[in-house]
Amino acid sequence: MNDLILIINAGSSSIKFSLFIQTAADPALLYKGQVEGIYVDPQFSAKNAAGDKLADEKLPADAPRNHDYALRYLLNWVQSHTEGRKLAVIGHRVVHGGTAFTKPVKVDAGVLAELDTTIPLAPLHAPANIGPMKALASLLPDVPQVACFDTAFHRTQPEINQLYALPVELAEREGIRRWGFHGLSYEYISSVLPDIDVRAATGRTVVCHLGNGASMAALHKGQCVLTTMGFTALEGLPMGTRTGTIDPAIVLHLMTHLKMNAAEIESLLYKESGLLGLSGVSSDMRELHSSAEPRARMAIEYFANRIVQQVGSLAAALQGIDALVFTAGIGENDDELRRLVCTPLQWLGVQIDEAANKVRSGEPRRISTAQSTVPVYVIPTNEELMIARHALHCIGL
Ligand code: AMP
């Protein structure tokens, strides 16, 4: 039976996968796993839906350390765990869709050629996303593939929220606009909101996607009005190792006074800054919480402060706020960070329920008091399920 859906999320040094099975309702997760450290010391791991470890092994030492081999290794494992069932479709997470792709698309030769034109917009991610599509087209030519874009959800932003105040001709020619990212996560949240809070789903909701990468989005009737990430995933909130928004003249200063080149500045902005740079301790929230170093606490408070500022900005863009949602690794698990964000938002009508905020659960939940005029929710995101739904829909199943 062709009822399996394979989701591929390929990055520059890892390929993550999830395997779903089609059901009468939403697709159900069977396995998830990844090959990490592709060019260094590739390691494969996989778990079942309950989280039990099924594999954790190094790839053969004499095998090529590249994406192609990692993909074939992963595919072999998947195919030996399908129990006679077959793949109906493969869904890919693609970081950048440019202007060409505003919704998921079935992959064919024309789409692959068009995707190649997005490489200058995401030079690190796009080749990693596109490579597995090309490889799978020859490895499994009969299985349709669907590409789902992290930028697509943000194309509903009003034009002025997508523009930078740069000369129009230059910006258009170079594709310099506020693309926004984490779109599949926001789309998932938007898809489940009607079951959680109808007023939030039909009204004005600010969603905080707080993980290693962090961004926020203002949703009106479930559609994006404004998001904090822009041309790249560097704009907006500070993140694990990324600066978030800084004065662009800092870059000029680094070039002219410190004579730093593009690669050095890129490393500084993407890999050495954010929570890691501020704290000098770690990019990982859990390590910051357990550190006695005062700068670790300062980094946490800085992060919360910038989120609070953005809630104000996004609520202004929405002309009000009917709900606030936390999601992703930090948003779903870090009650202290949520408390630090919600407490200064009392002026907006946010009143956090301290006990509800401390509850640990994998389910969507409300963490504000009954009196809070703005309800606050924790909603676990599920980008892979969003891709699985799109993949089935795109091939008409
Ligand atoms: P993500 O990129 O969505 O996987 O999120 C990764 C981030 O979530 C890292 O900064 C982790 O430290 C953070 N995180 C995961 N679990 C917890 C937790 N229990 N408490 C605080 N932060 C957490």
Mutation test of ligand 1: which of 330, 340, 361, 378 has the most ligand atoms closer than 8 Å to its C-beta?
A: 330
How high is the pLDDT of residue 228?
A: 98
Q: Are strands 145-149 and 28-36 parallel, antiparallel or unpaired?
A: unpaired
Cβ count within 10 A of residue 69: 16
- Span 379-392, pLDDT tens digits: 999 999 999 999 99
pLDDT band at 184 (very low <50, low <70, confident <90, very high): very high
Ligand 1 site, residue 330, Cβ cutoff 6 A: yes
Residue list for the binding site for Mg(2+): 9, 383
Ligand 1 site, residue 307, Cβ cutoff 6 A: no
Give catalytic residues, as residue numbers.
150
How high is the pLDDT of residue 33?
A: 97
- Span 228-248, pLDDT tens digits: 999 999 999 999 999 999 999
Cβ neighbours of residue 354 under 8 Å, at least 6 residues apart? 339
**Contact between 327 and 379 (Cβ < 8 Å):** yes
- Span 14-38, pLDDT tens digits: 999 999 999 999 999 999 999 999 9
Q: How far is CA 14 from the centre of its chain?
A: 15
Lowest-pLDDT choice from 97-101, 166-170, 202-206, 343-347: 97-101
pLDDT band at 108 (very low <50, low <70, confident <90, very high): very high
Ligand 1 site, residue 333, Cβ cutoff 6 A: yes
Specify the amino acid at residue 225: V
Ligand 1 site, residue 240, Cβ cutoff 6 A: yes
How high is the pLDDT of residue 326?
A: 98
Q: Whose structure tokens read 């996989």?
A: 46
Cβ neighbours of residue 370 under 8 Å, at least 6 residues apart? none
Q: Are strands 86-94 and 2-10 parallel, antiparallel or unpaired?
A: parallel
Q: How far is CA 152 from CA 32, 101, 102, 369, 377, in A?
A: 25, 7, 4, 35, 24
Does position 2 have pLDDT exceeding 90, yes or no? no
How high is the pLDDT of residue 397?
A: 84
> How many angstroms separate the CA atoms of 52 and 45, rounded?
11
Q: Give the position, in ligand 1's atom list, of the atom nearest the Cα of 337.
A: 21
Outline where the chain has alpha helix (H): 67-79, 109-116, 125-139, 159-162, 168-174, 183-196, 198-202, 249-257, 262-271, 274-279, 285-290, 294-318, 328-333, 335-342, 354-358, 383-394
- Span 281-324, pLDDT tens digits: 999 999 999 999 999 999 999 999 999 999 999 999 999 999 99
- Span 361-372, pLDDT tens digits: 999 999 999 999
- Span 343-382, pLDDT tens digits: 999 999 999 999 999 999 999 999 999 999 999 999 999 9
Report how far ligand 1's centroid is from the alpha carbon of 206 (Å).
20
| Domains 4-149 and 197-383 are alike in CATH topology | yes
By percentage, how much of the chain surpasses pLDDT 90? Answer: 97
pTM of the model: 0.96
Q: Whose structure tokens read 């919600």?
A: 342
**Where do the domains of the chain lie?**
4-149, 197-383
**Superfamily of segment(s) 197-383:** ATPase, nucleotide binding domain (3.30.420.40)
For every residue of 104-130, DSSP letters joined together read -EE--HHHHHHHHTTGGGSTTHHHHHH
Does position 1 have pLDDT exceeding 90, yes or no? no
By percentage, how much of the chain surpasses pLDDT 70? Answer: 100
Ligand 1 site, residue 286, Cβ cutoff 6 A: yes
For every residue of 129-187, DSSP letters joined together read HHHHHHHHHHHSTTS-EEEEETTGGGGGS-HHHH--SS-HHHHHHHT-S-----HHHHH
What residue's CA is closest to ligand 1, atom 23? 330
- Domain 4-149, CATH: 3.30.420.40
What average pLDDT is seen over the chain? 97
Cβ neighbours of residue 65 under 8 Å, at least 6 residues apart? 38, 39, 40, 42, 59
pLDDT band at 220 (very low <50, low <70, confident <90, very high): very high
Report how far ligand 1's centroid is from the alpha carbon of 163 (Å).
32
Average pLDDT of the segment spanning 318-331 = 98
